[in-house]
A and B are shown apart, each in its own frame.
Chain A
């Protein structure tokens, strides 16, 4: 379905110089630095899979979607979608994919929502029957009927996003690319979008490729997770495995009355130190934590402590930080992940 093999995409950044003289120099200078937005990434996705593609800002997520949809040519490596090379067969592939960019719009800004759907029907040659059938579903599940005759510019962000998703799915695409579809939405709107995408994935066996900063999106929609950082793929596996591996540990936050200085213990790894407030990562059970707190409270005055499970978001955040600072945590967590 989707096969990505050692894909690399470079960007050139022209060197700019500071100040007035610098900007004049910039007019003539042809120096540039090369940035690898995507660096030798490989994966395959089968028909009907739902995959979450996550990473911090600038990790190359959008670049990957652009290459998969054929509007950006990879610098190196091979990439096929439906056995076609996207950038050589852009129009052919376009018929089989649906795309939603959270920060862009396919809707006609000045016209009622329904007009955009009619135009899409013509552009993608959707039959009257299929059009009616899909519109009935969208009206119901995305609740389009509430605003179908309003001009797009008058819609709320949540309404607009639902319309965008409906529009992208009008021609029954086999693959759906979503680039941060829930960005800036409230909880209710996010929920309706998630359940709709799940429905489409199940009922139509459509492949979903989703990027998001909201990990709840991924947890609910996608069984499989790909994590990228600085252009490199650093995790590829089931969301369940990812969570199972790390949820055995707990996070213990202790607040001291006074800053006790650096406190290091065996079996409790200090992962955040804000002076009087320290966070430990503990792999052992509750009884260990009990005695651990008891031991500390003998020496220092503890004002408060809390215990929590990891949620996926925290772990990934630690994972990113670990990668950036090359701290002890990195080795520790990548052990967990791999």
Chain B
């Protein structure tokens, strides 16, 4: 869609930022790998060795790059300065507008930071690729889920800000939850049994751990299927919640300024 293209182009207009992001991402991968190599050395904990963790770090960092958290700030900003009125006055649904705007951002991220990050860090640190093409297919489905779930969660946070007119505290809380339960910081393998149970109940694992684990073929067969079903259920649940809240938010809308 046209919105995707424009959002993509908008990002392109800041060349300097592209370079900064690239350097930033590789630094994150580098830091994670340094920590893991210090912890694991040449040995392994619970069957996880360094090369596994390198792949995990690269993939989960890459996945987190293409999620739609940015949208919280976009909507929050529009709400604070009243620009949301301009978007509501278009004959197109606001969530759809935002979604495709974000897709444009993602396309940009994939092309300008994700691909270079993966290429450079796999050259620097080595990346273990999956053995079967079906894994790649499943991986892409998992990525799609991650994108959708991140969209809904971000949208949910933004919607709640319709009531409080600020998102900061809420976003802080969700960032913490996502950091821990998505497994992007510490893979769910290392969680204790109880905590792992909690993490598996929550949607956050789809935002980092699941795509990476599928890519590395640590989840296989029927287990993958079950995980994907859970993902679909989460997407539907979040979608319904967002729909309901959106209707109520519109009703409540008191625009700032003017």
The finding on whether chains A and B are genuine partners in a shared complex, rather than unrelated, reads yes
| A residues lining the B interface (CB < 8 Å) | 11, 62-63, 66, 69-73, 90-92, 94-95, 97, 99, 101, 103-106, 108-111, 115, 118-119, 122-124, 151, 179
- Confirm or deny: B1 has a beta carbon within 8 angstroms of a beta carbon on chain A: yes
Inter-chain contacts of B85 with A (CB < 8 A):
66, 71, 101, 104
CB–CB A111/B10 < 8 A:
yes
Inter-chain contacts of A90 with B (CB < 8 A):
88-89
- The answer for the CA separation of A124 and B9 in the assembled complex, in Å, is 21
B40-48, B90-98, B116-124: which lies at the interface: B90-98
Most buried by B among A62, A94, A110: A110
- Confirm or deny: B255 has a beta carbon within 8 angstroms of a beta carbon on chain A: yes
Residue of B nearest to A179 (CB): B258
Determine which of A62, A110, A122 lies in contact with B258 in the assembled complex, contact meaning CB atoms within 8 Å: A62
Inter-chain contacts of A91 with B (CB < 8 A):
91-93
Inter-chain contacts of B2 with A (CB < 8 A):
118-119, 122-123
Min CB gap B19→A, angstroms: 17
- The answer for the CA separation of A63 and B10 in the assembled complex, in Å, is 32
Min CB gap B225→A, angstroms: 39
Inter-chain contacts of A92 with B (CB < 8 A):
91
Determine which of B10, B90, B92 lies in contact with A110 in the assembled complex, contact meaning CB atoms within 8 Å: B10
Determine which of B6, B89, B90, B93 lies in contact with A115 in the assembled complex, contact meaning CB atoms within 8 Å: B6
- The answer for the CA separation of A151 and B13 in the assembled complex, in Å, is 10
Determine which of A66, A72, A119 lies in contact with B3 in the assembled complex, contact meaning CB atoms within 8 Å: A119
Known: A110-B13, A118-B2. Is A94-B90 also a contact (CB below 8 A)?
Answer: yes
Inter-chain contacts of A110 with B (CB < 8 A):
10, 13-14
- The answer for the CA separation of A66 and B256 in the assembled complex, in Å, is 12
Inter-chain contacts of A99 with B (CB < 8 A):
86, 89
CB–CB A111/B13 < 8 A:
yes
Digitize B242-258: 1 where CB-to-A-CB distance is under 8 Å, 0 elsewhere. 00000000010111011
- Confirm or deny: B83 has a beta carbon within 8 angstroms of a beta carbon on chain A: yes
Besides the contacts A97-B89, A105-B83, what 4 more A-B pairs have beta carbons closer than 8 Å?
A71-B85, A105-B86, A123-B92, A124-B91
Digitize B1-17: 1 where CB-to-A-CB distance is under 8 Å, 0 elsewhere. 11100100110011000
10 residue pairs, one from A and one from B, having the closest CB atoms: A62-B258, A122-B2, A94-B91, A110-B13, A110-B10, A95-B91, A91-B91, A71-B88, A106-B86, A71-B85
Min CB gap A154→B, angstroms: 11
Residue of A nearest to B2 (CB): A122
Most buried by A among B82, B83, B88, B258: B258
Residue of B nearest to A72 (CB): B255
Inter-chain contacts of A118 with B (CB < 8 A):
2
> Which residues of B from 206 to 258 have beta carbons under 8 Å from A?
251, 253-255, 257-258
Inter-chain contacts of B3 with A (CB < 8 A):
119, 122-123
Min CB gap B246→A, angstroms: 13
- The answer for the CA separation of A30 and B80 in the assembled complex, in Å, is 22
Residue of A nearest to B10 (CB): A110
- The answer for the CA separation of A335 and B10 in the assembled complex, in Å, is 57
Inter-chain contacts of B255 with A (CB < 8 A):
66, 71-72
CB–CB A122/B1 < 8 A:
yes
Min CB gap A174→B, angstroms: 14
Most buried by B among A62, A63, A151: A62
CB–CB B258/A63 < 8 A:
yes
Min CB gap B253→A, angstroms: 7
